[in-house]
Amino acid sequence: MKDKSSDVKKVTGRPDLRLLSLGMYCPGCHYGIITRVICEVIEELGVAGKAIGLAGVGCSFGGAPMTIDIDWTSCPHGRAPAMATAIKRIYPDAMVLTVQGDGDLGAIGLGCFMNALVRGENLTTIFLNNAVYGTTGGQMAPTTLLGMKTTTTPLGRDIQTNGYPLHVPELAATMRGVAYAARCTVHTPANFQKAKKSLKTAIQKQIDGIGYGIVEFVSACPPGWGLKPLECLDYISERMLEEYPLGEFKNVDKTD
């Protein structure tokens, strides 16, 4: 009988930067897939040796530093852009990225983030938007959808009491020091590939010294949404992307 093992072609595998730790993610959380996007992009750009990650407070901190084999530091809540600014100015050749959730960046850290954009820092931010505070029990976030039920909006988010959902890349795109702003998902294989392209473009802007790059990942939080992992995929397609359209909002080769 012919030995078929020699016919087997390896088409994928664990990225070299992906540590064996599973991280601290719930079943169905998309953060594990996003860490794979980050690993693959850093490897393909050949910048692993000079990559420094800054993890915000929340589930993003519970996973990224444990699963991606680059240098990391943890930050006071919402202050990753300020620490990233200091590190980038001390080590201008480093590739510095922040990984922040919707509470860390969009609530307590929004002022810190906006000031980094105003200064036109040469950084990359990965913004994880699952529309709830996953770590602390599914409370309303700045990105919670109108009508969405959370533990602090049991009747659904309403405009009169809670205001409107926050659109981070659209907001960032208005800032003169921002070179790239986009939103993506990893809830289908095609979108995984588009997300890689977006993150690669954002990091390349930093490498080329053009300006700030931000990529939002719309992602699932099954316990926060009260849905099964597969139901979350439909929820993203039918509800999340209605409020948060995918695409590039800014992509320039020169900032002011």
Give me the residues that bind ligand SF4 (CB under 6 A), please.
Answer: 25-26, 29, 31, 59, 130, 134-135, 221-224
Dihedral sign for Cα 77, 21, 16, 233, please. Answer: negative
Cβ proximity to ligand SF4: between 234 and 253 the closer is: 234
Dihedral sign for Cα 21, 26, 27, 28, please. Answer: negative
Cβ proximity to ligand SF4: between 109 and 224 the closer is: 224
CA 2, distance to chain mean position in Å, is: 47
Smallest gap from Cβ 201 to ligand SF4, in A, equals: 25
Cβ proximity to ligand SF4: between 34 and 202 the closer is: 34
DSSP state of 138: S
Residue type at position 83: M
3-state SS, one letter per residue, for 101-128: EHHHHHHHCHHHHHHHHHHCCCCEEEEE
Cβ proximity to ligand SF4: between 122 and 135 the closer is: 135
Smallest gap from Cβ 223 to ligand SF4, in A, equals: 5
Cβ proximity to ligand SF4: between 78 and 134 the closer is: 134
Smallest gap from Cβ 162 to ligand SF4, in A, equals: 20
Smallest gap from Cβ 137 to ligand SF4, in A, equals: 9
How far is it, in rounded angstroms, from Cα 225 to Cα 130? Answer: 9
Smallest gap from Cβ 79 to ligand SF4, in A, equals: 20
Q: How far is CA 241 from each of CA 69, 128, 219, 246, 252, rounded to the nearest angstrom?
A: 31, 14, 10, 7, 24
Smallest gap from Cβ 145 to ligand SF4, in A, equals: 16
How far is it, in rounded angstroms, from Cα 52 to Cα 120? Answer: 19
Cβ proximity to ligand SF4: between 58 and 177 the closer is: 58
3-state SS, one letter per residue, for 198-219: HHHHHHHHHHCCCCEEEEEEEC
